[in-house]
Amino acid sequence: MFTRTESFKEFLRFYPIISVIIAIHIFLWVLLALPALGGGPLLNQMVGYNVLITEGEYWRLVTPIFVHASFTHMLFNSFSLVLFGPALERMLGKSKFIALYLSTGVIANIATYIIQHEHFRHVGSSGAIFGLFGLYLYMVVKRKDLISCANSQLIMTILVIGLVMTFLNSNINITGHLFGLFAGFLLAPFFLGKRRRYI
């Protein structure tokens, strides 16, 4: 389930949505790392900044999903997506996968806007990635017919580690992580439906 054996070309062909998302991550990070390319002002327009959202810049509820604070931040989130996204892209299909990813990311950002102070700033796809974990958690708890016992145990172990790290690390948007997870869990029935595909 989480072991990748595909070649690079096969991965691009089998998981086009994940491939595009990671390509966007890399492209935007390069713009951030090389201000000479003119990306600095553009990326400043993409950061989640609550006071500017209040002033009507609502696109900032979406754009932070694709922007990262550092190369390590971008690499970790992209690697997480490579590991945990393919099974869901295959199970849900392209349209439902991207809808799940974006909707949980946006809900996480809306929660951040509502709960955090007005000058709070944030970037990163972690809310959307935790949204994927929320759907996995729903399968573990409510749809055991869709996931094996071994994969359930693995998911729960990784999720516990992820939640512990959320509270231990500094500069983490705890609100985004938690509400991404909640959103994925709550939306899971709508995305899974009555499907019987086992992972």
Give catalytic residue positions: 126, 177
CA distance 93 to 101: 12
Find, among 83, 102, 82, the residue nearest to 22 by Cα: 82
CB contact set of 2 (below 8 Å; sequence gap of 6+): 83, 84, 87, 151, 154
Structure tokens at 65: 């999903």
Backbone angles phi, psi at 122, to 5 degrees: -155, 150
Q: How many helices (H) and strands (E) does the chain have?
A: 10, 2
The residue type found at 189 is P
Q: State the residue for tokens 């890399």.
A: 26
